[in-house]
Amino acid sequence: MTVYIELPAGYNVANISIASLRLEGSIPAEPWPYTIGDCDKDGIADLMVKFNRNSVINLLPNGDNVAVHVTGTVGSTTFEGVDVIRVIK
């Protein structure tokens, strides 16, 4: 599962600790691949990371509006992001 993380002004996605990233509090981000870019072309850098597909499938319920939480640290600051996705197993 691919996730794109954008941070508010004043924070740099290059400073996100990949090892700190968790999906739903338990699934760690894969150490590779990751990349910094601007996927949505809004002029704000984002970090692309991946989470193990089988782990995500086993954890998330089927549904059209499933909330997904990603947490991590940037420097000494903890952050959380939430998005709503469609899950089809």
Apex CA 60: angle with CA 11 and CA 83, to 5°?
35
- pTM of this structure: 0.92
Residue located via tokens 């760690």: 28
Neighbours of 4 (CB within 10 A): 17
How many separate domains does the chain show? Answer: 1
What is the domain extent for residue 60?
2-87
Residue 15 phi/psi, 5-degree rounding, is -95, 5
Residue 51 makes CB contacts below 8 A (sequence gap 6+) with 1, 3, 23, 27, 28, 29, 30
What is the Cα–Cα distance from 44 to 38, expressed in whole angstroms?
Answer: 6
pLDDT by residue (tens digit) across 37-81? 999 999 999 999 999 999 999 999 999 999 999 999 999 999 999
